[in-house]
Structure 1
Amino acid sequence: MKSIVITGCNRGIGLGLVKYLVKDKISPKYVMVTCRNLQNAKELQEIADANKNVHVLQLEVDKPETFDNFAKDIEAIVKEDGLNVLFNNAGYSPKSTRINFVKAEQMMETFSINAVGPLMLTKALLPILKRAATINKDKPLGIERSVVINMSSYLGSISMNNQGGLYPYRCSKAALNMITTSLSIDLKPDGILVTSVHPGWVKTTMGGPNAPLDVDICSKRIIQLLKTLNEDHNGQFYSYEGHKIDW
């Protein structure tokens, strides 16, 4: 894996993934990470200052009109190598849980960030992903070739929903899983693997302090999972531990 783009890296799992990658024995040549506000990303900027392979870029995943320019910025960094991995990590969950409190605006905003954004960003970066897949066509499907990872959640699993509620988040992640399935079919001829990953219940701003899983452990296992991805993972839904999850 020469190059990776990870969205939503100012805090939480995104930041954890960056910290793990720069410590990895074989750190990617280009680690391109995004945040909504560069001025608020102090820790991320410090990592970039200490690691020349880390590039911090501004991106708001609910503003697809900016994606073409973002793609040009990525292309200027990776050049002829193309992009090996796009990790659509940025996500959002509003506070509302039950039917009596859900609002249409919350549904639309959450869909925009959790489903529409990853799809349109993948579309914008597709030529660069295809370039890496073509250059490395002698390699099997996986991170040495070209991969799109969509950070989903078991809360988006229809078959596992036995508690209801959480309408914006559940529905947006279910939509993201469908996007994963369609992309996996459409992009397989180009040598691009697409899969959804559930990160576990993690101690983050979104997960809350009662979550049982630390960011460091979650990040380590997700990167380990990335390294094992092969054709069997294409169009599937996996936990951070590598277990297949039902749709």
Structure 2
Amino acid sequence: MKGNINVKRICMVCLLDVLMLGCGFGKNFFSSASHDKLESHTGMNRSIEEQEERAYAELLASLRLLQESLNYKLEVPNDFDLEELVDEIIAMNQYEEVSSVNFSKNIQIALNYDRETLNNLKSIIKDLSHDNHKFALELMNNLSVFGDNLINALDRIDSDNFLSMLKESQDVLGLISIKVILDDMLEKGQEMVSLLQGIINNSVLFSDENEIKKSLELIDAFQCASSRVCVLCTEFRIMSFKFVDSVYSLDKRH
């Protein structure tokens, strides 16, 4: 008798399961739960993809802003006659180890191709060229070093391969950290160029050559202890290496 009761109970449980699965409530319950879970998973994936795309887009925008702000690869007419002036100073100092073309190009890069500043520089160099031609050469050499470091740093981070690696990394935090590096480079680069322009444009206002020289001594690419411009240039260059290292580090993790 007891065995029959247990059999009946088992049959009733099985029947109830069949009814639950067969009826509309049972189907809708399990179907709805699975659908909600799938929707949640899909929504999460979409959210992550959107974050990745936004992080990469913001990084790319920072890179473009840096390049545009410093006139990277800007095609400009060489109408400042700097090469002729550089040749003259080089000849006075019997300093033939440099190219007047490269000197002229790097100086324009350092001063961000600003016409007013370049014209003031020409005026200063002409005034210094007779009795202070050695100082004039040192000034141009320092400006050329700044321009050379600036363009080399920008060349270092300008790579389609780097952009592909960053886009494929899918690392939001990594992309954000690299964007911060680019933003720091922009800040340092703009300050460096602004200081160089300011020093030259202020120096041209002096009539005394000693005052002009004292003002221009701030443009020193080798003595960072006394030159804020030197510090900024060094930091800018270091950050470009940091950018490259960060890209490779990000790529290794994925």
Higher relative contact order (CA 8 A, sep 6+): 2
TM interval, shorter chain, is: under 0.3
User: TM-score, structure 1 length as denominator?
Assistant: 0.25
User: TM-score, structure 2 length as denominator?
Assistant: 0.24
Highest CA radius of gyration, 1 or 2? 2
**Bigger proportion of residues as strand:** 1
